[in-house]
Amino acid sequence: MGGLVALRAGAAASGGPAPAKGLAFDWGEQDEFKHIPVTCRMLDTELSAYGITHSAEGYEGTHGSGMMGPNGRMYQKMLPFFNRLLKFE
């Protein structure tokens, strides 16, 4: 997904932010920023423990590996995620 993606449905009736319609994130297992794989796995575990629906995926590669191009995560993961959850009127 190229990092963390959360979609919100607009303002809630109380005037505060609405609950996220979707939450997805990924990480490269060989990321140059060594804290990212560890903390993403921790976040995945915590979200699961609280029963929060999300998508979390580790992939073989570094911080930006396989992001672009027709087989990249941008086209294969991120854009389909937005397409499923965003409704345009």
pLDDT at residue 13 in the model: 54
pLDDT of the chain, 89 residues: tens digit per residue:
555 555 444 445 556 666 667 888 999 999 999 999 999 999 999 999 999 888 899 999 998 888 898 988 888 888 888 888 887 76
pLDDT of residue 17: 64
Give the domain extent around 66. Answer: 20-85
Q: Is residue 8 part of a domain?
A: no
Q: How far is Cα 3 from Cα 61, in angstroms, rounded to an integer?
A: 13
**Is the residue at 51 inside a domain?**
yes
Tokens of 39: 């903390």
First to last CA, the chain: 25
Nearest of 47, 39, 46, 52 to residue 3 by alpha carbon: 39
Domains identified in the chain, total number: 1
Question: Which DSSP category does 51 fall into?
Answer: T
Q: Determine, yes or no, domain membership for 39.
A: yes
Alpha-carbon gap, residue 44 to 65, rounded angstroms: 21
Is residue 15 included in any domain, yes or no?
no
